[in-house]
Amino acid sequence: MKITGLETYSLSAPLPQPVRTSTIAISQVSEVIVKLATDEGHVGLGEAHGPFLFQGAEGLRAVKKILDSITPLVVGRDPFETERIWQDLFALTYTSVRGIPPLARQQRVLVTAMSAIDIALWDLKGKAIGRPVHALLGGALRERVPAYVTGFYYRDGEKPDDVVREAASYVELGYRTLKVKVGGLTPEDDAARVGRIRRAVGKDVALMLDANQGWNLPTAIEAAKRCEAHDIFWLEDPMPWFDERRTLARLKEETSIPIAAGETEYTPFGLRTMVTEGLVDYLIIDSTWAGGLTTWRKAAVLAELYQIPMAAHHDPQIHVHAVAASPTGFILESFADASRDPLWFELFRERPQIVDGFMAVPDQPGLGLELRQETLEKYGVKLG
């Protein structure tokens, strides 16, 4: 079986109301979809995201340009040579490959592009042999995977009761783990907001905090200490990427709240640092921008050896396979509000369901996903 074509779709969906984290206002969600066709009729589907895709058409255009340039390294290949293809594409971060010049100054965009290709390869392999992706990753170790819901973004005009109502809506849907955005207010005000949510859900619901790398070290220490009283399950991405090795180690010395990080890493080597230097209690990975499921597979071996639980960032429809097949696989991220991610709610013909805080492990070939053509047309971006 040989790959005969690579087709790209660029999607962007506006949000009905912008939402904010500690560092960015989100007014749209964007992603790149790759379809790989073969001479045997099988088609593989892959998705990619990336922080720069918040730029909309500009970010999508950058990824599309990279995909066009690296297509010769994919078309004509055997999709079962996933690792060889991954190595060729990753090598472009520092050297030329088969006549394609290095993309050293576009590393992040390149890794996003290769993420979609890699995920499509895993989907393609599963479809070719009639097995789900988790079987190719070693087999599911569990029949269902827990999922938390991310919410409590900052919104213009927010009133204290708004977060109480939001919390109640998630609990009513069956979620028992909620993630709350922090870092957009003062530590005192954030702690008060978290306290309102804790009182609304009671002691039997786990609360996670996500600062989206919006604090410096002193502020992170103060905020963590103020929130400790609210029985916090983890504190995620408290500080910026450029000094995480020092600041995460310092923060862990100052707080009893477990630390979760890793989603902003985009290579297996960055994830290795998180694990081997003891910087995290939970390792978060997003295969849609960190090099695909091949990167997850590499990290899963390391996480097992160091006994670090693995959590997925976004895209539970893909990561359910990875978490289910990983010895220390722990939990998925999800959205319960269609206004936060219209693509998740509209993109698939049969969207995997989260019931009572769990997603069942699929048994269909590949990823088990089929795109809705009308959604591709509705949110497709013409890049010229």
pLDDT per residue as tens digits for the range 67-95? 999 999 999 999 999 999 999 999 999 99
Percent of the chain's residues with pLDDT above 70: 99
> Is a pLDDT exceeding 90 seen at residue 289?
yes
Average pLDDT for 167-172: 98
CB contact at 8 A, 291 and 114: yes
Domain spans of the chain? 3-130+373-379, 136-360
Residues near 352 by beta carbon (within 8 Å), at least 6 away in sequence: 316, 317, 320, 359, 360, 362, 368
What digits encode the pLDDT tens for the residues 343-382?
A: 999 999 999 999 999 999 999 999 999 999 999 999 999 8
How many degrees, rounded to 5, is the angle at CA 34 between CA 25 and CA 100? 100
Region 112-120: mean pLDDT is 98
Please report the beta strands in 241-338, taking only residues with DSSP state E, as ranges in sequence order. Answer: 259-261, 282-285, 310-312, 329-334
Q: Which of 214, 233, 225, 185 is CA-nearest to residue 331?
A: 233
Q: Which fold has domain 3-130+373-379?
A: Enolase-like; domain 1 (3.30.390)
Residue at 183: amino acid letter:
G
**Quick one: pLDDT at residue 54?**
67
Terminal-residue alpha carbon distance, the chain: 32
pTM of the model: 0.97
Residue 62 CB partners (closer than 8 Å, separation 6+): 52, 106, 109
Q: Give the pLDDT confidence of 7-52 residue by residue, as tens digits.
A: 999 999 999 999 999 999 999 999 999 999 999 999 999 999 977 6
Beta carbons of 32 and 347 less than 8 angstroms apart: no
Strand order in the sheet with 25-38: 3-20, 25-38, 43-48
Q: Is the pLDDT of residue 332 over 80?
A: yes
Local confidence band at 184 (pLDDT 50, 70, 90 cut-offs): very high
- Class of the CATH-defined domain 136-360: alpha beta
3-state secondary structure of 180: strand
CA distances from 30 to 76, 187, 365 (A): 29, 31, 26
Alpha helices by DSSP H, 22-129: 57-70, 82-91, 107-129
Interacting residues of 376 by C-beta distance below 8 A, sequence separation 6+: 9, 11, 33
pLDDT for res 52: 64
Residue-level pLDDT at 232 = 98
What's the half-sphere exposure (Cβ side, CA atoms, 13 Å) at 153?
22
314, pLDDT greater than 90: yes
Residue 241 sits at φ, ψ, to 5 deg, of: -65, -30
Are 3-130+373-379 and 136-360 the same fold in CATH? no
